[in-house]
Amino acid sequence: MRAAASLLRLWLLGTLLIVAGVLIWAFAPVLIFVALLAGGLGILSLAMVALARGLERGLGKARRRRPDGG
């Protein structure tokens, strides 16, 4: 009886590992694509924020240099 329970546990563990492997194999390309897309959009937004801050700094200095104050 004890050997049958142990064999059943091994069978369930093996089945679980096989199913997990198939799921990872099936969804990995999609997950990698989504991760790369999110990373690319993050880098793009970081560049846009840096550009906007640089323009803001540049325009702020140019406005302060104008003699008419406008």
Q: What is the mean pLDDT of residues 13-19?
A: 96
DSSP 48: H
Asked whether the predicted pLDDT for residue 70 surpasses 60, the reply is no
CA distances from 14 to 1, 22, 24, 27, 63 (A): 20, 12, 15, 20, 70
Distance (Å, rounded) from C-alpha 51 to C-alpha 6?
63
Banded model confidence at residue 41, pLDDT cuts 50, 70, 90: very high
Q: What is the mean pLDDT of residues 29-44?
A: 94
Q: Which pair of tokens denotes residue 15? A: 């089945």
Q: Which pair of tokens denotes residue 49? A: 């924020």
Query: What is the value of pTM for the model shown?
Result: 0.53
Q: Which pair of tokens denotes residue 32? A: 């990698």
